[in-house]
Copies of this chain bind each other. A is one copy, B any other.
Amino acid sequence: MRQAGRVLPEYRALREKHTFLELVRTPELAAEATLQPIRRFGFDAAIVFSDILVVAEALGQPYAFSDEGGLRFEWLLRHSDDVRRLDAGGVVERLGYVGQALRRAGAELGGRTALIGFAGSPWTLANFMMEGGGVREPLRARELFYGNRAMFMALCEVLTRAVTDCLQVQIDAGADAVQLFDSLGHLLPAGEFEAASGRWMQRVIAGLRGQVPVIVFSRGAHGDGAALVETGAQVVGVDWTVSLEAARRVLPATVGIQGNLDPALLNTDPETVAAETRRILSVLRGRPGHIFNLGHGVPPGARLEAIESLVYTVARFA
């Protein structure tokens, strides 16, 4: 459950002393932020406290968040020359702090709770790195994909290598599973998903060493998640808009399903959350490999009691 920390008083206390990026870049603080939701809610798995844009920074495109939360890159990818500015050679070294955060969190978890690493997909990173933050509907990466395929592919080559490195660092540091967030996959026409996003995720997954399962999450999942199976992921994560009945129907029984409670429910009362949680569990009852999760991150305004109700309901469900 990403961003579960934001509802916790102990996380807010951390954030009073440190910026978000200080937490991300300081292994002991990142480990602490990773563990806080586990101590509070007892989830079966922890997801490392990090940010998908650490890969952009490791490639040489630094960024920061303004006080209002707005994302700001020092420069934006616009031209072919900008792609050449990216330095894919030192990503493993420069992301050492992510590995250290995982090692620290893993040591404290002591194998009792699974630890998940993650990265953004090449497609999703391309959008952020070209557009910056604050844009409601990113457009430039699609423009590049249609209008300058050679530069698009050169960029994705670099990103694919860097994302692979980012996940490998986390696997080498003890991640029990890794997740690829294709958070902007829903911006793509159905017929272009494979060329613009799917094949690059497939290459990332194929390039990983070590036997850890990979979870691929894509917003909208292009209907039912079938397109995500092609990436070779062991688990497909679907957002809250996707019909789990449809996903159950089309996904092979060997592929796990992660999701998909509407995050908006965490802003309602515990009874409403419990009822919807039971409904989702019932849809996938008897199917192996359901990872119960939200269909997206924890929203601002989520209520502690609502998350507690969710956890209690999942644990009791039989």
Residues in A lying within 8 Å of B, measured CB to CB: 136-137, 139, 142-143, 146-147, 186-191, 220, 222-224, 240-243, 245-246, 262-265, 267-269, 272, 276, 295-296, 299, 301
Contacts and interface: CB of A to CB of B under 8 A. Distances in A.
Contact of A262 (B189, B222, B269, B301): B189
B142 A269 contact: no
B264 A142 contact: yes
- Identify the 4 closest CB pairs spanning chains A and B, nearest first: A147-B268, A142-B264, A190-B243, A223-B223
17 contacts: A137-B296, A139-B267, A142-B262, A143-B265, A146-B265, A146-B272, A147-B269, A147-B272, A186-B220, A189-B240, A189-B241, A189-B243, A190-B241, A190-B242, A190-B243, A191-B245, A222-B241
Given A186-B241, A189-B242, A190-B241, 16 more contacts: A137-B299, A143-B264, A146-B272, A147-B268, A147-B272, A186-B220, A187-B241, A188-B241, A189-B240, A189-B241, A189-B243, A190-B242, A191-B243, A191-B245, A220-B220, A220-B241
Nearest to A283: B191
A117 B245 CA distance: 37
Contacts of A242: 189-190
Contacts of A245: 191
Max count, chain B CB within 10 A of own CB: residue among A188, A223, A224: A223
A143 B265 CA distance: 6
Given A146-B276, A189-B262, A268-B147, A136 B139 contact: no
Given A223-B223, A241-B186, A241-B220, A143 B191 contact: no
Nearest to A241: B189
A139 B186 contact: no
Contacts of A241: 186-190, 220, 222
Contacts of A137: 296, 299
A154 to B, nearest CB: 17
Contact of A139 (B189, B191, B224, B299): B299
A272 B240 CA distance: 34
Contacts of A188: 241
A146 B268 CA distance: 7
Nearest to A145: B264
A275 to B, nearest CB: 9
A268 B149 CA distance: 12
Contacts of A264: 139, 142-143, 146
A295 B223 CA distance: 17
Contacts of A272: 146-147
B223 A267 contact: no
A268 B143 contact: yes
Nearest to A138: B264
A289 to B, nearest CB: 21
Nearest to A142: B264
A67 B189 CA distance: 33
Given A220-B220, A223-B223, A269-B147, A246 B190 contact: yes
